[in-house]
Amino acid sequence: MRAAVLRTVMACFTLVWFLNPANAIDIKEVVSPGGIRAWLVENHNIPLIAMNFSFEGGTTSDPVGKEGAVNFITGMMDEGAADLDSAAFQARRDELAVRIMFDAGGDQFEGAIQTLSKNRGEAFALLRKAMTAPHFEKEAMERVRQQFLLGAKDDEQDPEKIASRAWMKIALGDQLYARQGAGSPQSIANITPEDLRALHRLIFSRKGLKVAVVGDIDAPTLGLALDEVFGDLPDTAPPTPVKDVIVAKGPLVKVVDRDIPQSIIVFGHDGILRDDPDFIPAFVMSNILGGGGFASRLTTEVREKRGLTYGIGFGLVPLDHAGLYIGSVSTRNEKASETLAIVVDTLKKMADEGPSQAELDDMKTYLTGSYALRFDSNGKIAGQLLGIQQQNLGIDYVNNRNSKVEALTLDDVRAQAKRLVHADRLITIVVGRPEGIKSTGSGG
């Protein structure tokens, strides 16, 4: 009940930033007495605190044959810690009306806590127990395992998951990003409590820690809280980063036969990393081509003009050590060949001609206007600040981002279209029974 109260409070008391020079977000870097760093945005008008944090090392750290182990940890972090068993931990969490969440990506293990400021000390103490002394007991683990097994079995039958996994396997081969981060039924069954303990010791290190805090707390108080929550974690080296990945090149088409009425199409090729000096113009170009809601060219050509799909997207996916450019669309089996041909033609035209000035102007308006929506609550702001830290964009990025977009010229964006859009080297996966499409090519 009290957790529901917290969610209601957080929904009602949102923190909106309009991201212009007059209302720039004041981000402070806080260093704890123990040397732990965090970014802080103070907001004392709302009695809430949101803290987001991450550790280097994600699902790419899974042992071979035990894929899904790091993801498994996310389901165990509230299943007992220190002097509290599973039931006691969850009862205490609910009594304090605190939300504690964990998530595992390929490169990062992330966590978040949201609490009423009056419960700050007790909430942070509970988080500390989960971070430093999780139980990973067998009984709780078997209960959580069944949940993950159900999800993995569902994924094996999900056409969209089948398509995306097949695309990653062909594009990345045996490289770590191509592995199933959520695991398979077989790999999940192999995971032991000691596997989780070993991965916890490996990933939960102060050396790979990044923290963002927003809300009703000042810098001195946060400094002490950082040491309380994270200070007992080891200062050991984080997991070895993934080696930079080489993405295979098409053209290649693979059809995965499934008796379903629609064809699920995933298409793409290599992209760029987030630290690429031309990422901003590339991002704007990509949104004109395949993002930006109903304003994109692909949506116009495939959905609006021809009614071939409910939705289509094509966007840059910059992982820490692999740059991908991936899109997807679903359509009726008898329309799959036509849909794919239109996608290819639209990509070719963008590469050859680039966007128009009107398209660029409209996209600038959309991207700069919608950016503020990423900052309409304490939790969202903390999440954005954490992501900016992970991508090494600098503490001033939030307040400078829109000016970077506004400064782009048509030549800037057209150059990225020519550089990054390659219809002639698409890797394409089609799950279904598409009429007029057959498997071709071998990649390279």
Q: pLDDT (tens digit, 9 = 90+) per residue, 134-177?
A: 999 999 999 999 999 999 999 999 999 999 999 999 999 989 99
Of 395, 342, 433, 393, whose CA–CA distance to 26 is shortest?
395
What is the DSSP code (8-state) at residue 273?
-
Contacts (Cβ under 8 Å, ≥6 apart) of 87: none
pLDDT band (50, 70, 90) for residue 292: low
Q: How far apart are the first and last CA of the chain?
A: 56
Q: pLDDT (tens digit, 9 = 90+) per residue, 318-338?
A: 999 999 999 999 999 999 999
Supply angle C-alpha 364, 328, 102, rounded to 5: 80
Distance CA 211, CA 389 (A): 8
Cis peptide before 251 (omega within 30 of 0): yes
Q: pLDDT (tens digit, 9 = 90+) per residue, 399-423?
A: 999 999 999 999 999 999 999 999 9
- For the chain, residues classed under CATH 3.30.830.10 are 2-230, 252-432
Q: Is the Cβ–Cβ distance between 176 and 207 less than 8 Å? A: no
Distance CA 258, CA 301 (A): 27
pLDDT value of residue 7? 40
Q: Is the Cβ–Cβ distance between 379 and 51 less than 8 Å? A: no
pLDDT value of residue 293? 65
Mean pLDDT score across all residues of the chain = 93
Q: pLDDT (tens digit, 9 = 90+) per residue, 68-80?
A: 999 999 999 999 9
What average pLDDT does the segment 190-214 reach?
A: 97
Residue 340 carries which side chain, given as an amino acid letter? L
Residue 5 has pLDDT above 60, yes or no: no
Strands 312-318 and 210-215: unpaired
CATH class of 252-432: alpha beta
Match 């927003």 to its residue by tokens: 214
With 0-12 CB in 10 A as exposed, 13-18 as middle and 19+ as buried, what is 410? middle
Residue 200 has pLDDT above 70, yes or no: yes
- The superfamily CATH assigns to domain 2-230 is Metalloenzyme, LuxS/M16 peptidase-like (3.30.830.10)
Distance CA 44, CA 49 (A): 9
Residue 266 tokens, joined: 């995933």
pLDDT band (50, 70, 90) for residue 212: very high
pLDDT value of residue 186? 97
pLDDT value of residue 441? 74
Distance CA 205, CA 236 (A): 6
Instruction: Report the b/e string of 4-41 with b at 16+ CB within 10 A.
Output: eebeeebeeeebebebeeeeebebeebebeeebebbbb
Q: Is the Cβ–Cβ distance between 171 and 178 less than 8 Å? A: yes
Distance CA 205, CA 282 (A): 34
Query: Bridge partners of 81?
Result: 84, 134
